[in-house]
Structure 1
Amino acid sequence: MDRPAPPPSELLEIAIDVARDAAATAYRMRIEGVSVAATKSTVTDVVTAADRAVERQITDALRRLRPGDAVLGEEYGTADGGTTDAPARVRWIVDPIDGTVNYLYGLPHCAVSIAAELDGAVVAGVVRNIHTGEEWTATAGGGAWRAGERLRCSTETDLGQALVITGFGYDARRRAHQARVVAELIPYVRDIRRLGAAALDLCLVAEGRADAYYEKGLAAWDQAAGGLVAAEAGLRIGGLKGLPPGPEMVIAAPPALYDPLHEHLTRWDAAGGP
């Protein structure tokens, strides 16, 4: 007999406990000194020993707490749960260190990100800053929260007054295309920031510390938890031309800013290039 579906609140409690332990490990390893273990897409796209150790710690903890679930992690890919041929109803999406380059350099904008999917929909998520301990949480339909305060996104209605966060890929040709998009967009906004950790960027926009966010090239682990926090804070989340958010484009903006930002990004083919 199938187990009943766990409530999002139960999954969130697990995610928070696991994320806090993982963030403590990542912080300790950073203080002790960290080295590059490998590279991924390019020589500038690094993996540290901490990325791998923290993901193993998270996966082991989730296996112990919910042995029938699946886990998708950035460093080790998919591990299917369960003991039958039926797919697991719950899948955990894990970024052990979002903002690895920031982490490598000791810049305090990096985080552990853990989300829980139930039957293919993200229903719970936590993002915890490794350096500061700031923690953002959300459940589907239950709102987004930090430090006991419910989050509401920016109420800005004029794109020209909006502070917009974006990010860049690691491939030099993609960076060049993304730089051209920024050059076209910047006259139409208040300013642009590039902070280097998508999950945290989405959380900052969720609480109005910036007004909007867009980026090409995000994987599931980059946006799962942060995207839920953003959506539960009232942001509209999507891709370009009616597509859902995904690797081609993620836009997170208040309803009043979404369409004008989308129009500019479409005009300059922000989802294009390498």
Structure 2
Amino acid sequence: MTLPSGSDQALALRDLAIEIGTEAAGLVRTLATGTVSVSATKSSPVDVVTEVDRACEELVRARLLAARPQDAVLGEEEGDTEGTSGVRWIVDPVDGTVNLLYGIGEYAVSLAAEVDGEVVAGVVVDVAKDVLYAAALGHGATRDGVPLRVRPSPPVPERLLLTGFGYRPDVRAHQGACVARLLPRVRDIRRMGSCALDLCHVAEGTADGYVEDGPRPWDWAAGSLVVTEAGGRFAVLAGAPAPHRLTSEDSVLVASPAQGWDDLVALLRQTGFLA
């Protein structure tokens, strides 16, 4: 499959991601109707992998290989496969695996395409609700084909923020302390369980911002483009030194409408999320 360059390439990659992501979400939806059980763990006993994760990633890789055999692929479950085309796909087969395990309807298939290191296309499929978020660089973001726009930012004390927690106890202890300092200073905080969907919620205006320490590129690559193409800002910023991280490093995801960005970042520094 040969793609055009520039803007048209972003659209073609997005359309391929929509096709493959929709099929993958259908597979996850079908498998989720049966018994979902843990098949392995990763960073801790509560960081789980299911056979649904593995089957979905296998399908996505097979479809990508058939369509674009020269592309690289980075997947959460199967790691990095090198390519020669300058395009790399970043795949999270199920973002929100614990929600899937418990039958909580907040998990997604996330599929992004980078060109020379820049994300140019992203698709996040909310599996349980059958909602498709998509974006192409320079062409905006959509939800089921309808253009998305972030909501205007209210004053900081009136903002509803989303967050998440890691799986290691030391990471969770730091995150919990930061959230405890943040909570009295905003309208409220929600923990939904899927980084990719949290970013899409900011993009569609059902939240005023998002912060989380530690997600990996497959968690946020597609959602980051959806939120920025919807008029928001996204960055991976240096986290404050903490017991699990003795020095500052770029590990804290932040997203919000562009208009309210500076105030949110200042608040996250004051409450210990950011260096």
Q: 1:206 aligns with which of 198, 203, 225?
A: 203
Structure 2 counterpart of 1:37, one-letter code: S
**Tell me, what secondary structure is at the counterpart of 2:125?**
strand
Q: Does the CA-based 8 Å contact 2:3-2:9 persist in structure 1? A: no
Q: Distance in 2 between matches of 1:174 and 1:11?
A: 35
RMSD between superposed Cα atoms in Å = 1.8
Aligned twin of 1:262 = 265
Q: Distance in 2 between matches of 1:126 and 1:240?
A: 23
Q: Distance in 2 between matches of 1:194 and 1:107?
A: 13
Aligned twin of 2:77 = 75
**Tell me, what secondary structure is at the counterpart of 1:152?**
coil
Q: Distance in 1 between matches of 2:226 and 2:258?
A: 16
Alignment coverage as a number of residue pairs: 263
Aligned twin of 1:14 = 16
Aligned twin of 1:84 = none
Aligned twin of 1:41 = 43
Aligned 1:86-235 pairs, distance under 5 A = 87-235=84-232
Q: Does the CA-based 8 Å contact 1:219-1:247 persist in structure 2? A: no
Q: Distance in 2 between matches of 1:4 and 1:229?
A: 22
Q: Distance in 2 between matches of 1:90 and 1:57?
A: 19
> How far is the alpha carbon of 1:4 from its aligned partner?
5.5
**Tell me, what secondary structure is at the counterpart of 2:205?**
coil
> How far is the alpha carbon of 1:190 from its aligned partner?
0.5
Q: Distance in 2 between matches of 1:186 and 1:252?
A: 17
Aligned twin of 2:244 = none
Aligned twin of 2:243 = none
Aligned twin of 2:242 = none
Percent pairwise identity:
47
Aligned twin of 1:28 = 30
CA deviation map 1:177-207 (0-9, x unaligned): 1111111111111100000000001001101
Q: Does the CA-based 8 Å contact 1:71-1:91 persist in structure 2? A: yes
Aligned twin of 1:249 = 252
CA deviation map 1:9-48 (0-9, x unaligned): 1111111111111111111111121111100000000000
Aligned twin of 2:60 = 58
> How far is the alpha carbon of 1:247 from its aligned partner?
5.6
Q: Does the CA-based 8 Å contact 1:152-1:233 persist in structure 2? A: yes
Structure 1 residues 247 and 25, CA, compared in 2 at 3 Å: closer, same or farther?
Answer: farther
**Tell me, what secondary structure is at the counterpart of 2:45?**
coil
Q: Distance in 2 between matches of 1:201 and 1:145?
A: 15
Q: Distance in 2 between matches of 1:247 and 1:78?
A: 21
Q: Distance in 1 between matches of 2:143 and 2:238?
A: 32
TM-score (norm 1): 0.92
Residue 213 of structure 2 corresponds to residue 239 of structure 1: no
Segments of structure 2 that go 5 or more residues without pairing to the other structure are: 240-248
> How far is the alpha carbon of 1:146 from its aligned partner?
0.7
Structure 1 counterpart of 2:11, one-letter code: S
> How far is the alpha carbon of 1:154 from its aligned partner?
1.4
Q: Distance in 1 between matches of 2:68 and 2:200?
A: 27
Structure 1 residues 133 and 45, CA, compared in 2 at 3 Å: closer, same or farther?
Answer: same
Structure 1 residues 101 and 8, CA, compared in 2 at 3 Å: closer, same or farther?
Answer: same
Segments of structure 1 that go 5 or more residues without pairing to the other structure are: 82-86
